[in-house]
Structure 1
């Protein structure tokens, strides 16, 4: 039989996951339509960009830093990649749609890592505090993005863009069975209404990136060095770790994942959008990382924990919408959950971070 201390330790360590299960159960009781494959698909699709931002932020926070620029880097990449797709498609004279989309994605990823490299360079080589360095990049990325799109969405992209971003790995059409990567051709209204998509493409891409990043953090030397730097930078230097180079890589990774999020937005909405609300993405990503058990002091955190944190926020938002609770209560709830996470970390640090 488990002692009360062991039970408390389990709750303190896994409270976010238990809270997620409680949210799912509560919203399912309040509104039966919440517990459906269609709604869970919608939750996962909506969470993809925040999941990618939170994964990069996890690495940064573990080292004791913070990246405030990722929301606007994501917007910058979204309008840049969409602009490339738009112009190639408009001038291509029969250029394959897939090549236009691929070129936009590649250009977006290339320019997207530049802010991360600059952030890392400023922090690692010039000893600029992470808050200041990334806040400066926050403004720079925001300004460049607005200059590129003039404040308007970049539209008129190849039709294939939305088909990829909103597609599913498999479709189930009842008596017609399964089809993969392409919607089956249906003529009867009942069959069309019964069509179900299984595993969105955007979710699959996100899962692959999460698994890779989670494995690197948990099982490789790169991950060990990340934790070591967050635990004690001086000790990491004495252990022979090239701390400046590693920190630059961390911020490049953060920007790369933000760039992936921007490209997924373009593919989902068939346009490149950038607004001042992009800044809320990094705030929710940071909140998710803290809810998932990472410490802002560095040295602790996991990709799995951050994933749970994002799912808590995404489930909360979806549940409020379905149940009919006004959206501004979401911000109040997120604030309360974030404070609760910090209090748990403050009062039960040994239980939360004990391996």
Structure 2
């Protein structure tokens, strides 16, 4: 009998030192690549872009930029680990943005206090998004239609609903106060003489001091961090996460062990749509408007973040932390290239090349583990 060792939730065959080194490299490459990129841009941006890459303001801009991509990717991580795919999350985000904007505007105009109006908008956006996930999950689990087809069809339907509910325009007329929820921060740092560090208390500054003020950990970043930690706990420390890995590893074996596969798949797609809904609501708060198209360009970036982060396209392997690293790689890469004045089409080319490299690494890892060859 072949010796095995359990690693990352799998029974893996004993490997030679060379293959074990390759396997370790495949698991750490994203971290190494992110570190190398940061060092490269720290050196290159001052030389060729005339700016400073490593600054508080730039780091916070990167964190804010990854919020929607990461939120879309979090739910997608669960779905892909379970050997599925959700192509509707981009338009679900748009629908949530529109629904939350309508709910906030209507409730505030009816005399509801601003904070409660925001809560109602959050409920409407995430609730509407979760209904889309419920429909996706029911069709995939109960009717056995491939997830690719179902979520592709749903994306068109949700796109139409987003444009219908927004009347093919941006939903405006929201109270100006909601901008604070989407743009203000937990900490403030005012540089220079007369400045200082502030916690939960935005300083009343003008002129040069206002331009010298940095917002640290904007509220959308804080909310996203809470969702990330919740997803890490859900995937790694609960039965829900163990069932997700089991279904992605071998669905028939999961059925035979008594896992309620159909019910779990429905929950997965509801989770995926819900995190997209959170992204939609946060975009409404940030821009003080509901957009019917805001999530459209983010779908591919979210999938790229998941793949770069090491989630196996064959299911059964991956982590939330990997998706966070993948989203950071995309954000750091695009931000650094912009600061180097690299044209936009080169940014797409570079990100696409990184995705292909990530898939090749994923396949090499599966070949080393013999994961795809089992049972043959």
**Normalising by structure 2, what TM-score?**
0.88
Q: Secondary structure at the match of 1:31?
A: helix
Number of the residue aligned with 2:39: 25
Residue 248 of structure 2 corresponds to residue 230 of structure 1? yes
Q: Does 1:194 align with 2:212?
A: yes
What is the rounded CA distance, in whole Å, between the counterparts of 1:261 and 1:295 in structure 2?
Answer: 24
Query: CA, structure 1 residues 351+55, in 2 after alignment: closer, same or farther (shift >3 Å)?
Result: farther
Please tell me whether the aligned partners of residues 96 and 281 of structure 2 are also in contact (alpha carbons under 8 angstroms). Answer: yes
What CA distance in whole angstroms lies between the structure 2 residues aligned with 1:310 and 1:116? 23
C-alpha displacement at 1:351, in angstroms? 6.0
Q: Matched residues in 2 for 1:292 and 1:43: separation? A: 17
Alignment-derived partner of residue 329 in structure 1? 346
Q: Is the 8 A contact 2:94 2:296 kept in 1?
A: no
1:216 to 231, 234, 245: 234
**5+ unaligned residues in a row in structure 2: which ranges?**
1-16, 47-51, 372-376
1:352–1:18: structure 2 CA closer, same or farther, 3 Å change rule?
farther
- When residues 163 and 114 of structure 1 are mapped into structure 2, their CA distance, relative to the original with a 3 A threshold, is same
Matched with 2:27 is: 13
CA–CA distance in 2 between the matches of 1:10 and 1:62?
A: 20
2:179 is aligned with 1:165: no
The aligned counterpart of 2:202 is 183
- Asked if structure 2 preserves the Cα contact closer than 8 Å seen for 1:13 and 1:353, the reply is no
Cα distance, 1:209–1:195 mapped onto 2, change above 3 Å: same
Select 1:60's aligned residue among 79, 84, 87.
79
- Which consecutive residues of structure 1, in runs of 5 or more, have no partner in the other structure? none
Secondary structure class of the residue paired with 1:23: helix
For the Cα contact (< 8 Å) 2:98–2:162, is it kept in 1?
A: yes
Contact 1:52 1:261 (8 Å CA) reproduced: yes
Q: Is the 8 A contact 1:60 1:251 kept in 2?
A: yes
Give the equivalent residue in structure 2 for 1:244: 262
* Distance of aligned partners of 1:46 and 1:352 in 2 relative to their CA distance in 1, 3 Å threshold: farther
Match of 1:78 among 90, 94, 97: 97
| Whole-Å separation in 2 of the counterparts to 1:310 and 1:106 | 26
Partner residue, 2:287: 269
Give the alignment's TM-score, normalised by structure 1. Answer: 0.93
Q: Secondary structure at the match of 1:123?
A: helix
After superposition, the Cα gap between the structure-2 partners of 1:176 and 1:28, relative to the gap in structure 1 and judged at 3 Å, is closer
Q: What is the rounded CA distance, in whole Å, between the counterparts of 2:95 and 2:114 in structure 1?
A: 22
**Count of residue pairs brought into register by the alignment:** 349
What is the rounded CA distance, in whole Å, between the counterparts of 1:80 and 1:150 in structure 2?
Answer: 12
1:348 aligns with 2:346: no
Are 1:37 and 2:56 an aligned pair?
yes
SS of match in other structure, 2:217: strand
1:285 Cα shift? 1.0
Answer whether contact 1:13 1:352 (CA < 8 A) is retained. Answer: no
> 1:333 Cα deviation (Å)?
1.0
Q: CA deviation at 1:23?
A: 1.2
Structure 1 residues 46-66: Cα deviation after superposition (integer angstroms, max 9, x where no partner): 100111111100000011100
Instruction: Tell me, in whole angstroms, the C-alpha distance in 2 between the residues paired with 1:353 and 1:121.
Output: 33
Question: Paired residue for 1:339?
Answer: 356
Counterparts of 1:27 and 1:83, CA distance in 2: 42
Aligned to 2:298: 281
Q: CA RMSD in A?
A: 1.9
- Which whole-Å CA distance do the structure 2 matches of 1:222 and 1:23 have between them? 35
Contact 1:105 1:263 in 2 (8 A): yes
The DSSP-based 3-state class of the residue aligned with 2:61 is helix
Deviates more, 1:149-158 or 1:95-104: 95-104
